[in-house]
Structure 1
Amino acid sequence: MNMNFSQKLEARCDPSSSSYNYTNRAYVTNEPIVEKIGDYQYIRINEYLLGAMQINDSAIGTFHPPARINMGMHPNVSTGGSFPVNDSNLRFLLKVVKPFVGSVSIPSKTMFTVYVTTNPTDPLSYPVYTISYTGRIIAPQSCSIDSGTVLDIKFGDILASEFNQAGAGNKPASIDPQTRSVSVQCSNMNAAATLTFRIESEKSQGDMLVSNNDDVGFKISDLNGKTLIPNNLSSFSEFLLNQNQNATISFKAWPVSITGNKPALGPFNSRAYIRIDFP
């Protein structure tokens, strides 16, 4: 993915008694480098993707951040006047490290913060600009789960005392797990392909989804009783597509105590998502 940096940026350094007019530029990331391929340095974007960047500068040519680079000179550097910062032709590489089905959203996040100094040992105090990314990657293989239908599971009234009697991580004695099934329709897949499903949620603790009542949550398992840990790539259950690229996946859900404390009275709810992946 190539991008042209068309916005005009200028920087200014404190005036100096010397006539030294060269600058140093630091491209800093808070993420660790997880892989290097040639000069490209990849950082993790999410569980599916790594990203790396190449930048072409008008003074020194091509380099690959994160890096601290000695740049060209400009007569305004030592006088305190403004001078241009001319990065151009930014190339952003994505590497798929885990195959995915459908699409993957990339939330907006800063990849590099850029500082300009006159000496490579100067502290990095004032960022000049940032390089950020956001987007969505769409794979040709896709699956729909009951056409996006919301599956509402109700457990009725439960005595608050049953939750603290059950203890943290356990269900009230009067409640049985409920089983639900959803249909899956896939496209551009091999017939009889093996896929996996796992659980994602907005708020979780260990193997439990946390509800809008912090003392109460839910657990979800496959039909074999294997608890599916929310937001955990390694916690999944497999299923098989038929010749028409269809399948039915089933799971169990039940309420549990999160803390072992007696919860406040009132309704409680939580929301979970089913994520389909390649194994």
Structure 2
Amino acid sequence: MMATGISIQRGIIVGGLLACATFSAPQVQAAFGQCAPISGTHGFSFLFSPVLTDPSQNVVGRIIKNADGGNWNLPGSYRVKCECQTRTASYVTAKMLLSEPVFSSGGLTYYALNEYLGVASEVFVAGYRNEFIAAPFTNESNFKTDMDGDDESCASTPYNSGARGRIHLYFRRPFVGVTTIPSTRLVDTYVSVASGVKSDVPVSTISMSGTVTVPQSCVIDPQVVTVNFGDILTSNIQTKGAMPPRFTPEERTLTLACRNISAGVKVSLSFRGEADGSMPEALKTSNRDIGVMIKDMQGNVIRPQSGRLPIDNFQYPNQSGSSRISIYPINTTGQLPAVGQFNATATIQAEIQ
């Protein structure tokens, strides 16, 4: 048994009064040359919704440059006040707000956006520089040292740093369909008018949201699989769990034609139908004593509600594959079935994992 509590020990405290001295340290001054937004940090946000139709893009390690498609090109500016007497060049700093770097290549660092994707950012530095610079970066000059008319001064100058940029994607793992990107802050930008000085307040913050879609689909051929068991004597199908003696199961080939399935993505067929109440591994028919068994070519039962048929020979280059099934009727109750036709229906669909 565990006991909890507080242990208090007695002791003798020996001491005396000491003279107290108060020390005052000189107050640290913020470096001169900082800039701050006059109306608070300006927010830029853009929608990011690429659709990737090439299956070679949806693989681990794949990089897609300029995936934003120009969407990070936003209107609007904001006014900034700087500590200066005469105008000098502006120095821009971009701070990444995503914290987990997952890959670096070509001067770009990709940060985890979610379990599937990493993202790298480039921020456009205007002025006389007019260049995209990979974030994060510090103290990058815009090379602009003059003022344009009465609209620019140390007390108030329009800026649009953060309004333009580029997004690059890195695939951490392949995925199917759509992955949603909630509103995510990517970069804070800072401006100063003194080289080496980083301002305390960001002039702008950049956010993105949206979706990344990898459309994938498969078509099953034939669209309708019809099986006719022919005439069966009731006396030949009255043993529970058994098909009629000397009955040859029907076999069918199911062919898949797919689109945008990348290597490593598994494709299978699933079956959805009503299970027989007496033998749930069999498909229910309109005759209460008869069910239909479906098996793969290795003899494994494909259950009507959760069964999967693997596509073992899927060819990624031509996006196709096939599989075969064996189908036969069985008695599910041990009772003599009623005379008459029976039928059953199941839905087969492609599953992409």
TM-score (norm 2): 0.39
The structure with the largest strand share of the pair is 1
Which structure has the larger Rg over C-alpha atoms? 2
Give the TM-score of the pair, scaled to structure 1: 0.48
